[in-house]
Amino acid sequence: MKTLIHPTAVIHPGADLHPSVQVGPYAVIGEHVKVGSETIIGAHVVLDGSTEIGVGNHIFPGAAIGLEPQDLKYKGAVSYVKIGDNNRIREYVTINRATGAGEATIIGNNNLLMAYAHVAHNCVIEDFVVIANAVAMAGHVHIESRATIGGVLGIHQFVHIGRLAMVGGMSRIDRDVPPYMLVEGSPARVRSLNLIGLKRAGIAEIDDGKVFQTFKKAFRTLYRSDLTLNQALEKLDLLQDNEHLQHLRQFLQLSQMPGRRGLIPGRTLDTRSDE
């Protein structure tokens, strides 16, 4: 099994690598790194800090994972990067560990992070997320499952991006992106439902298409009426309920809570409260 590790790789004796892990030329792996089975670590990859990587991941050349956060508040506390299973982390991706003691930057399962993406401290990326080339995420960004992020864009710190959202390339994302919506532009705006994403996820077929029709009504209520957000939320309560609509409604409500960035607006939605 030693033939799976290139002789030029530098691996600390304290690192915990499953025997099936492959390590390419000139990779550097630190003392507190743990890597699960069938993971491939490419040439010149750097894994450092308290970093846990699961099963079946492929980390491409030049990626740097687990290094100190780019945060002036960081004072050397023990913090983590935790990466799940079956992720594809392409060339020169950077994933920083969290800032506070015991905190973690978290990547879930089955994600694709394309080349030069940056995942800052304390970010959370759930499952089946696609992040295109040169996406820069500031600290504490949270991206829910099955979202797709277009290339060459920035995401402001503390922004949340909802489930099955689609963000167009070269957008400026400075507020929360609602689930199931297509957002693009600078400044970014909600343009439509993420119709292709909803269909690919099978939501268009649920309950003979009734869930999909409910989403269309919800979109018109939110973005094609003259209602404030609170008024629109009251109207959503009158629609046929399902788990996806519940998630959308909860996301919209939580975006108004202290510490959150608020919502990216659409064509007509007034995202202010009625107060």
Going from the C-alpha of 265 to that of each of 61, 84, 229, the distances in angstroms are 39, 33, 10
Strand 88-89 to 130-131 pairing: unpaired
List the chain pLDDT tens, one digit each, 275 residues.
Answer: 456 999 999 999 999 999 999 999 999 999 999 999 999 999 999 999 999 999 999 999 999 999 999 999 999 999 999 999 999 999 999 999 999 999 999 999 999 999 999 999 999 999 999 999 999 999 999 999 999 999 999 999 999 999 999 999 999 999 999 999 999 999 999 999 999 999 999 998 888 888 999 999 999 999 999 899 999 999 999 998 899 999 999 999 999 999 999 999 997 655 544 44
For 95, other C-beta atoms within 10 Å of its C-beta total 27
Domains and CATH numbers, the chain: 10-197 (2.160.10.10), 203-255 (1.20.1180)
- pLDDT value of residue 179: 98
Indicate the burial class of 243 (C-beta count within 10 angstroms; 0-12, 13-18, 19 or more): exposed
- DSSP class of residue 228 equals B
Q: Are 131 and 117 in contact (CB under 8 A)?
A: yes
